[in-house]
Structures are given as C-alpha cells and as structure tokens.
Structure 1
Amino acid sequence: MTSSALYEIPLTLIDGTKTTFGAFRGKTVLIVNVASKCGFTPQYAGLEALYQRYADEGLVVLGLPSNQFMGQEPGTDDDIAQFCGMTYGVTFPMTTKVDVRGKHQHPLYAELTKFKHGLLPGLIKWNFEKFLVTPTGEVVDRFASTVEPESTEILDAIDKVLATKAA
C-alpha cells in the first residue's frame, strides 16, 4: 500500500470524531492496540510518557482499543476513555474499539500486519503490540507486547525516525 492510501484509511476517535489516518501525515506515529484489563495495561503510563517526551518533535502515540484477546477491553468507548484518563493520565489520541484481526479487521491493521519483522510477521498476537510509522507513512518497525514503551529498543527506533525527519 502506498503511504497516500494509508492516509486515506478512516478512523473514528474515541470521542466519536470521524477522521482518517491522514490526520497524522507528517508525524511519526507509534500505533498500539490497547486493552484496559490486560497484564500489559500498565504500559499506558510508558506510552503517555513517550507522547509527552516526543510530542514537540512530532511523535504521536495512537491507541486502538480491542477486545479480541480474552475479553480484556469489555467497556464502552466512554468507559475506556475515562479509565485511561483517570488511571494513567492518557492524553494521546485513541480510537473507538476495533478488531485488529479476523473477518472484521480494521483496515489500518490489515495494512500494518503486512509489515514483516523478525518473529512478528502477520497476525497481531496480543494486546499492546506496537508499530512505528514514519512521517511519510512508511511502517518501519514492529514491537512485541513485551517490549516496554520506554525501552531502549523503542527509544532508538523513534530517535532514528525523528533524526531522519530533521535531516
């Protein structure tokens, strides 16, 4: 898929606002499928810290809640937004609940999962998998759920993309 087509993919933000991935054109985006009742849920704190640390340099963290893994995101969009804001102080953009795999897979994940990286080709395996997208819409990295948001691996990848943008 071309980056221009990636930018045409529709998104509905958690507050109901209709947009497209194109709203993030020119930004470095870390896309994460999230859940409120998962062992990895505390990663919200690290994701928010990343967002705060790099927002002025053009990083956006984009959370897409999904209830596809053991029902770990059972709430409504309002429940999710309230939980994330009150529990983790989340200010980064989030979408309404989506399917990240299967027959009703969101188009964004249909494209993201085409990116092959090491042990993570294809299907989303669990909550809190992360994809890094450049300001021109190229998927350049994928991280397992176990990779913490503020890990050296993710920080180095973000720094590399941001340095390329600045050059």
Structure 2
Amino acid sequence: MASATSFYDFKPLDKKGQPYPLTTLKGKVVLVVNTASKCGFTPQFTALESLYKSVTAAQPDKFLILGFPCNQFMNQDPGDNDTIQQFCLANYGVSFPVLGKTDVNGDKAEPVWEWLKKEMPGLMGMKRVKWNFEKFLVSADGKVVQRWASTTKPETLEGTILEEIKKGSGEKK
C-alpha cells in the first residue's frame, strides 16, 4: 500500500480472518505490539494488560493496545488464532484486541507493519522488526511517534502514552 499516509489506511485481519479497519481507531492513541506466546518476553502480556487498564481508566476511549501475534522469531507463536486467543485470555487476562497471526517482516509482511517500520525505522535505520514484543506508538492522528525495543518494559511507557493523549486532545501539559 504505497499510497498509505496514516495508520488508518490499513485493514489487517482480525482473529476470525476478517478485515479490522484501523480507521475505526481514529482519535485514539494506539500501542501496536508484535506478540508471541512462547517467548522470554511473553510475560509482558501482564504489564501490557495493566498498562491498558490504567491508561483507559484515566483516559476512557482514548487509548488502545493492538496485539499482532507473530511466529517469525524462532517459531514462538505456533498455534492457530483460536489457540493464541485462548492463551492470552487464560494466562494473562488480556482484554485488548489481539488480531490474527501476522508476519511483520519479509515478503508476506502485513502492510501495516511495512508502513510502521518505514515511518519509524529501528536502530541505525533498520527497517525490520528485530524480535517479539517490539512496540510502536501511533498518535491520535495516525502518525508513528515512538518505537521501542522488545526489552522496553510496558510499565515504563505510561507517561509517554498519557502525554501523547494530551497532545491529541489539545490539553495543555
């Protein structure tokens, strides 16, 4: 999708294989995360859920986390969409949307991930996702404003997210 100018131009597939139009998220700050069920970083689901609940309690309807399960890194999310959904709910109580299994790198990469990487390259301009649980912050107007490595703990992001929500709503700092 070479003509894409914002996050809202994409329709990745949800857990049922149906298009999930990101245009429905206009006006929200979105944390996009590539996830995996069998990774050393998998316990970040707990912190992501806590972050999601904390920010949405403070700023209802202004924030969303979108999980994109990915099996590209040492086959650490081998299950089908139903298995992944059940795992996230049963083990971590995840209440934010976890979409359909997605490639984030390579020839079959989901277009939204190609766009995210182009808009906010990694270290030394790297245009690929290095590992599970990389995080991209998208502003309320659909622009990528921040990117964090897998090692960045979700609980450290709350202040940045709340500041971005304030920017999007026109509030003063």
Q: Normalising by structure 2, what TM-score?
A: 0.89
| Residue from 76, 79, 83 that aligns with 1:79 | 83
Match of 2:71 in 1: 67
Deviations, residues 46-73 of structure 1 (Å, cap 9, x unaligned): 1111111112521100000000000000
Q: Which residue of 1 aligns with 2:48?
A: 47
Change (3 A) 1:156 1:50: same
Shift of the 117–100 alpha-carbon distance from structure 1 to 2, 3 Å rule, reads closer
Q: By how many angstroms is 1:119 displaced?
A: 5.2
CA contact (8 A) 2:55 2:158 kept: no
Counterpart for residue 156 of structure 1: 159
> Who is 2:138 aligned against?
133
Residues of 1 paired with 2:100 and 2:128: CA distance?
20
Query: Does the CA contact (< 8 Å) of 1:77 and 1:97 recur in 2?
Result: yes
Closer/same/farther in 2, CA of residues 135 and 76 from structure 1, 3 Å limit: same
Query: Structure 2, unaligned stretches of length 5 or more?
Result: none
The answer to whether the 8 Å contact 1:117/1:141 transfers is: no
> Which residue is equivalent to 1:145?
150
Q: How many aligned residue pairs are there?
A: 163
The runs of at least 4 consecutive aligned structure 1 residues that moved more than 6 Å come to none
Equivalent position amino acid for 2:152 in 1: V
- Residue ranges of structure 1 left out of the alignment (5+ in a row): none
Given the superposition, is the C-alpha separation of residues 118 and 160 from structure 1 closer, same or farther in structure 2, using an over 3 Å criterion? farther
Does 2:127 correspond to 1:122? yes
61-70 vs 114-123, which deviates more? 114-123
TM, length-normalised to structure 1: 0.92
Partners of 2:126 and 2:166 lie apart in 1 by: 26
Percent of aligned pairs with the same amino acid? 42
